[in-house]
Structure 1
């Protein structure tokens, strides 16, 4: 799953450019001014269509990721170890983070409606290629490179959806609009993953079943393309583009543009640090949990094991996302973003410590719910900070940096856990280390926020 000014005491609301308040707009807005409600948001035609594009896109992502995970980790025709799982997760998350600084600049120059339309069609074709590779039993670099291409296009689309949001919703409603979009979108990813597990149960766990499951993800891409085509040309931005001959130079400097814009806004930088801590810790927990369900959790009892057990964890994590959608707006209005982020990080720390001490399937499932909720709260606060405090001219490049923080940290943590953990994932000390990462993130978040405090007169 990045605010200036000192922590806001409960109940206070201050201007968005100098406080942890939840949205941009005129200062000292009341909570009633910044709330439109789900029904009001869904009556906004552009937002409703953008929401539909996000839902189909993220459903297809969940379907594809779970299908690939099943093909690599729970396929009896293939051997699985922590490094193989880490490689699979890396190809799903790392690619766009590597090209993101450059792609972000493109999002600030290209018609975002065309990006959403074209990228969905390209991804549909690439998913067919991956399904063919899985079907013939090819593994290793060939499978990972094909999946790499799909993941790269997916990440490009998700950033495009994020930077398009301010063009369909007034800025004073961005927090609740983003909360609904990101939370339900994440739920759609979990739904896609759960449906992939169901389809795979019908088609079989081998290469053929994994290929058929992968191919179903094409449906989401095609529907997303049709929905994106319904937007008017130029309606999603960017508002202004630089048509100079230095386009290539601007693209190559996309990373530095995004980094400078982030560093210039302490509130955004602080939220990035908190989000990085969550993703590092969550990456460790994910790798260990997958290996535990593969090798250790074999006595079913009241719970499912294997890939079905991972599906249970996904459902609980999705439930945590729903709780976060309800809690985050209320917490931000009452306490402000900094205290909301602090509370989420501290709660996640307690959950990680409990998981390290009570390492069992029930403890893992409870932790999935808690970490899903707390991580989503941190992410929603980060989204609100970026969308309300960063100018549209560099928004794409900042979201590209956001993607790096979100995914590279996760991949680094997964890779480190793969190298340090035993084959079966039984490593209580690593779960404890993940709790320490949350505490480090809390300290870094608070230190960054102090940059924004005015010097005493």
Structure 2
């Protein structure tokens, strides 16, 4: 399962770079804050909109089969998207194909998250969540890096973007071969004779989602940590939109290639932060507990982002990317662990659907707010203040909600 994740998320990095380069850093496109918000919505809304429906099937279908079939479907869709780009069709057709690719990926990633407790003992979930999803994120950054190198070597024409998509599709297809080495019933879901059939569940998907939310609410630490993750994604989304516009216009005078190199450096330092979170988080949660470590990470993200970004110098953003990378991934590891540890297996698919709706929906919502407040060159003291104060406020709210009457060590 770990190998399946690494190969698929490496492919995803190539794909995300291809789409982002096409949408934000194409010489033909004039990127604005509204354009950034639109592009991020295209990239991420399928994860939120499809969330409730994904949970219904992940709690009923063989999760191993999802890991086998989804890569093949996505590979075909990527070839279609590549053909549309090469044929120079209007952008909306390409974005429609990209939405299809991301919709299939929603099944894949949610199935991975719900499957982990079936292959890892409960007392090792923290270590597993430190290694597996974070390693997947790191190899996504590696895939982005490969996409960047290919763009530097090949160019930024439509045919070059199409080639990136073809490579991504072929690599993603390899993950299906790896997933086939697992036994079909290995990853669940566990049998529940009282669970309604999928057709009935689809008709009652909102009720099922509400049932999953009620189940989460009764597990206070899991719900609060998921909320902390959602808060991070909102402020991280604002920081992303701010960084893209700053590099596109404030730091580089509109040169898309120079802007892409600057953003590439921020992505690289963020990747280092994500990787270090693998090492830091298990130790920190053992030393401080999850309930203390999460607000510490959020508070550090808020204070240091203000210090590093407010001068509006090119040296500050890569360091801020590193800080937000390590803090945000620490919070995500804690959220993954508390959900997998506390939520019953019959609810895991729906729990991770809610998780993903928050994870991506908050990011898109933040980009929409950024479109409303960012000036044309991106230099906004207001945006930085919202990010910094918001992180600290989130830390205080989390601490108030999650602190148990008797300290529970994680």
TM-score (norm 1): 0.84
Corresponding position of 2:9: 58
Alignment of 1:120-131 (within 5 A): 120-131=71-82
Corresponding position of 1:274: 228
Give 1:305 shift: 3.1
Corresponding position of 2:219: 265
Asked if 1:208 corresponds to 2:167, the answer is: no
Asked if 1:306 corresponds to 2:250, the answer is: no
Q: Name whichever structure is richer in helix by fraction.
A: 2
Give 1:139 shift: 4.0
Deviations 1:333-364 (A, max 9, x none): 01100111011011001122113422111100
Cα distance in structure 1, aligned partners of 2:100 and 2:142: 23
Equivalent residue for 2:128, pick from 170, 177, 194? 177
Q: 1:337 to 1:245 in 2, by over 3 A?
A: closer
Cα distance in structure 2, aligned partners of 1:188 and 1:117: 20
Cα distance in structure 2, aligned partners of 1:356 and 1:370: 11
Deviations 1:217-265 (A, max 9, x none): 1122111111111111111101214586653332413321221121111
Whether contact under 8 Å (2:57, 2:198) holds in the other structure is no
Equivalent residue for 2:332, pick from 379, 402, 407? 379
Alignment of 1:354-433 (within 5 A): 354-433=307-386
Equivalent residue for 1:294, pick from 248, 255, 270? 248
Aligned residues: 401
Cα distance in structure 2, aligned partners of 1:398 and 1:69: 29
Cα distance in structure 2, aligned partners of 1:76 and 1:224: 34
Extract unaligned runs of 5+ from structure 2: none
Give 1:80 shift: 2.2
Deviations 1:171-190 (A, max 9, x none): 11111112100111110111
The list of structure 1 runs, each at least 4 consecutive aligned residues, that deviate by more than 6 angstroms after superposition, is none
Whether contact under 8 Å (1:104, 1:254) holds in the other structure is no
Whether contact under 8 Å (1:280, 1:437) holds in the other structure is no
Whether contact under 8 Å (1:59, 1:192) holds in the other structure is yes
Whether contact under 8 Å (2:71, 2:173) holds in the other structure is yes
Deviations 1:310-330 (A, max 9, x none): 211111001001111111001
Alignment of 1:219-234 (within 5 A): 219-234=170-185
Equivalent residue for 1:335, pick from 260, 266, 288? 288
Deviations 1:17-74 (A, max 9, x none): xxxxxxxxxxxxxxxxxxxxxxxxxxxxxxxxx1111011111111111110101111
Aligned partner of residue 305 in structure 1, secondary structure: helix
Alignment of 1:149-160 (within 5 A): 149-160=100-111
TM-score (norm 2): 0.94
Asked if 1:256 corresponds to 2:207, the answer is: no
Equivalent residue for 1:453, pick from 364, 383, 405? 405
Aligned partner of residue 217 in structure 1, secondary structure: helix
Corresponding position of 1:23: none
Deviations 1:141-160 (A, max 9, x none): 32222111111111221110
Extract unaligned runs of 5+ from structure 1: 1-49
Asked if 1:325 corresponds to 2:252, the answer is: no
Q: 1:242 to 1:297 in 2, by over 3 A?
A: farther
Alignment of 1:193-204 (within 5 A): 193-204=144-155
